[in-house]
Amino acid sequence: MRAFQSLYFAVLLAVVSVTNAALVDDIIDAITGAATCAACHTLFVPLKVLAALGDKPFTSTFKVICKAINVVDDDVCEGAVGQQAPVLAHNLRSINPLGQTATKLCDSLLGLCQQPKVNAYNVPFAKPAPASYTKPQAGKKAPFQVVHFSDIHIDRQYTVGAEAECTKPVCCRNYADQAGKPISKAAKAMGMRNCDTPTTFVHSLLNQIGTNNKFSIFTGDLVEAAVWLVNEAEVTSDINTFNSELASIPKVKVYPALGNHESAPVNLFPRNGTKKGSAQWVFDAVSKGWEPLIGQAAAQQAKTKSGSYSILVPGTNLRIVSLNTVYWYKTNFWLYDDNNQFPDPNGILEFAASQLQAAEDAGQRVWIIAHMPPNRYDTLHDQSHYFDQVINRYKHIISGQFYGHSHQDQFGIAYSDYNNRNANTAVSNAWIVSAITPRSNNPTFKVYDVDPDTYEIMDAKVYRADIDDPNFHTSPSWTLGYSARQTYGSMLTNPSWPAASPLDAKFWHRVTEVFEKDRRAFDIYQGLRKGPGNSVEEVACTDDDCWKDTICELRGMNAQYACRRSTPGLNIRRRDENGTEYLSRVHANAECAGAGISHVFHELPGRKDSVDWDAVRVEIDAIIKEAEAEGAAATN
């Protein structure tokens, strides 16, 4: 019996070794063949076997591939892959490589699959919508002002004099592998292109917005984008420092929302039901830091509701519902560790619906504030669709939605019927503000004129600081870029938009109708997205399909209707299988998601021909042999 057993184990061992020797070939064949969605699923089969050997060989293999693709510096590969690959290994061990979760992961990681058709789910509501509702009338009283800023991305290691034209995703820091090299462009005091925001500029901004407005909203991303280096200690310290700075602004309160950079590794917020990992440390940190701004009850919600809270703004009838939308974010890899589909990870939709119901019961009006707008290529279609149900249920009391994340000045429209998108079915609209960080655009914030009865937006004025202004580094000044009512309202004729009417969903739908008919009007919007003086190649349209798709995206708060397709690679212009050109949104992904492994591995399909696969094979072979020798194995 014993002899038989040891023979059995010897045979088993031999089989495993043979499998693992072939594994190197399987992995490389699958990687070099990964050009379609089906091939991406096929790639996950050997990667799952590799993941079963443990996080270490899996991560080492991905580091080798990252360096071989050569999109980012080796230290960025080390850091980004070192942090994020263990989550992928956990995912692959947990899921069927051919299932729906794997399809979503192929979309997120490589851009090789399109998102599957949305899974049917009805968000439960406590009560049906009321049969009638009389909205107060806007335009009777003088508006008050609210500042909206976002994506401040503060770099506490920003160093004046450091290289501003480096090879990393974020410059103006002293990097170890740059030491002693001559400086081609030295970082100045208040911020530079390619760099995140220095503390000096944060203080200048906070002084600026600390006066002349009733309150401010900040829609997240306070941590810098050197994401391959951030860790829990640094993010916690960044959260604490900025929140005490916010709390110290004289007079003016800031209502914040949580961004995808407020975790480490970046973007990665584990689901509350996952077997591994937790982001509770983030929620604890923001809860503590926000308490002076939002009070104890809302801070307690932020702690127990994954960073979401709601608060009645003192002295008003306006409830702000601040949501953590990172659980709807494609690049949050923790969402792919189960074959089951979870309609409402961490109960964010449930929380939103409960707070909206409370507002409806109390006769209040509501603003939704959050970091990631749920209408982009990087939103999970399922959650965007379910959130759209929430918006449609409570549309009568929602006066506006406010987001950041895209680093662009944009808007979005929600409809009651996406098959008939017109001014009558337009029910809610989103205001998306560009970033404070000067990394790719001039720092920008919006000042809203808010109607004191309806809390609707009567005008949005966009202010910018010009980093090329000679005085910028001594005393940065903010100048009015444009007024939305003037710029877009004047486009509406026949009939014109009444002065007493808010800039609501119907207004914005009519603006998109002008964009459809008048390419010059559309180009005004395109030019404002990144602001004057900035590189617009990411958003520029050179053909009519792009023009059409961009308008469709504006009309796509329910993301499945936003005419966006996932693509591998960072190329801006792509062609689909029928040769039709369409816009790729992946380039912008580098800004929002940072140089994470999704950013790097989107490059794989396009770069695989320039990789020396024989050299890669030798390295991976050694990694797998070492893992075998150590008898490594992992479960979950």
Mark the binding-site residues, compressed into ranges.
Answer: 151, 153, 221, 260, 371, 405, 407
- Binder of ligand NAG out of 101, 306, 308, 379 (CB under 6 A): 306
Nearer to ligand NAG, 83 or 94 (CB): 94
Please state, as a whole number, how many other Cβ atoms lie within 10 Å of the Cβ of residue 150. Answer: 30
Q: Cβ of residue 321: shortest distance to ligand NAG, in angstroms?
A: 16
β-partners of residue 464 are: 444, 479
Q: Which stretch binds ligand NAG (CB under 6 A): 118-126, 255-263, 356-364, 571-579?
A: 571-579
Residue whose C-alpha is closest to residue 485's, from 512, 465, 508, 454: 508
Told to check if 382 binds ligand NAG by CB under 6 A, we report no
- Is the Cα dihedral 148, 151, 155, 160 positive or negative? negative
Nearer to ligand NAG, 271 or 365 (CB): 271
Give me the half-sphere count of Cα atoms (radius 13 Å) on the Cβ side of residue 250.
Answer: 4
Q: How far apart are CA 399 and CA 75, in angstroms?
A: 46
Told to check if 350 binds ligand NAG by CB under 6 A, we report yes
Told to check if 346 binds ligand NAG by CB under 6 A, we report yes
Told to check if 267 binds ligand NAG by CB under 6 A, we report no
Residue whose C-alpha is closest to residue 356's, from 364, 345, 347: 364
Nearer to ligand NAG, 138 or 563 (CB): 563
- Binder of ligand NAG out of 419, 420, 577, 610 (CB under 6 A): 577
| Residue nearest ligand NAG (C-beta atom) | 347
Told to check if 428 binds ligand NAG by CB under 6 A, we report no
In contact, 412 and 557? CB cutoff 8 Å: yes
Q: Which stretch binds ligand NAG (CB under 6 A): 212-220, 490-498, 511-519, 575-583?
A: 575-583
Nearer to ligand NAG, 350 or 545 (CB): 350
In contact, 433 and 406? CB cutoff 8 Å: no
Q: In whole angstroms, what separates CA 335 from the centre of its chain?
A: 14
In contact, 202 and 445? CB cutoff 8 Å: no
b or e along 205-241 (b: 16 or more beta carbons within 10 Å of the residue's beta carbon)? bbebbbeebbbbbbbbbbbbbbbbbbeeebbbebbeb
Nearer to ligand NAG, 286 or 593 (CB): 286
Nearer to ligand NAG, 144 or 342 (CB): 342
Nearer to ligand NAG, 103 or 157 (CB): 103
Told to check if 265 binds ligand NAG by CB under 6 A, we report no
544: tokens are: 């009519």
Please state, as a whole number, how many other Cβ atoms lie within 10 Å of the Cβ of residue 303. Answer: 19
Told to check if 296 binds ligand NAG by CB under 6 A, we report no
In contact, 461 and 480? CB cutoff 8 Å: yes
Beta strands in 183-226 (DSSP E): 215-218
Site size with ligand NAG, rule: CB under 6 A: 12
Residue whose entry in the numeric block shows the structure tokens 């949050």 = 332
Nearer to ligand NAG, 17 or 580 (CB): 580
Q: Cβ of residue 516: shortest distance to ligand NAG, in angstroms?
A: 21
Told to check if 284 binds ligand NAG by CB under 6 A, we report no
Told to check if 344 binds ligand NAG by CB under 6 A, we report yes
Count of helices and strands (H, E) across the chain: 18, 14
Q: Cβ of residue 547: shortest distance to ligand NAG, in angstroms?
A: 18
SS3 126: coil
Told to check if 342 binds ligand NAG by CB under 6 A, we report yes
- Binder of ligand NAG out of 70, 96, 272, 354 (CB under 6 A): 272
- Binder of ligand NAG out of 576, 615, 618, 630 (CB under 6 A): 576
In contact, 616 and 16? CB cutoff 8 Å: no
Q: For residue 396, count CB atoms less than 10 angstroms from its CB and return exposed for 0-12, middle for 13-18, buried for 19 or more.
A: middle
Told to check if 341 binds ligand NAG by CB under 6 A, we report no
Q: Cβ of residue 297: shortest distance to ligand NAG, in angstroms?
A: 17
Residue whose C-alpha is closest to residue 225's, from 148, 151, 150: 151
Told to check if 613 binds ligand NAG by CB under 6 A, we report no
Q: Which residues does 615 contact at the CB level (< 8 Å), separation at least 6?
A: 68
SS3 420: coil
Q: Which stretch binds ligand NAG (CB under 6 A): 172-180, 337-345, 386-394, 549-557?
A: 337-345
Q: Which stretch binds ligand NAG (CB under 6 A): 338-346, 381-389, 421-429, 585-593?
A: 338-346
SS3 194: coil
Told to check if 122 binds ligand NAG by CB under 6 A, we report no
Q: How far apart are CA 178 and CA 162, in angstroms?
A: 10
Nearer to ligand NAG, 345 or 502 (CB): 345
Helices 55-69 + 37-52 axis angle, to 10 = 140
Q: Which residues participate in the annotated binding site for Zn(2+)?
A: 151, 153, 221, 260, 371, 405, 407
Told to check if 345 binds ligand NAG by CB under 6 A, we report yes
Told to check if 420 binds ligand NAG by CB under 6 A, we report no
Q: Which stretch binds ligand NAG (CB under 6 A): 342-350, 392-400, 430-438, 512-520?
A: 342-350
Told to check if 355 binds ligand NAG by CB under 6 A, we report no
Q: How far apart are CA 54 and CA 34, in angstroms?
A: 23
What Å distances lie between residue 227 and 44, 80, 224, 265, 523, CA to CA?
25, 7, 7, 7, 34
Q: Which stretch binds ligand NAG (CB under 6 A): 434-442, 472-480, 544-552, 573-581?
A: 573-581
Nearer to ligand NAG, 117 or 519 (CB): 117
Told to check if 347 binds ligand NAG by CB under 6 A, we report yes
Question: Segment 63-82, which members bind ligand NAG (CB under 6 A)?
Answer: none
Q: Cβ of residue 412: shortest distance to ligand NAG, in angstroms?
A: 24
Told to check if 578 binds ligand NAG by CB under 6 A, we report yes
Q: Which residues bind ligand NAG (CB under 6 A)?
A: 272, 304, 306, 342, 344-347, 350, 576-578
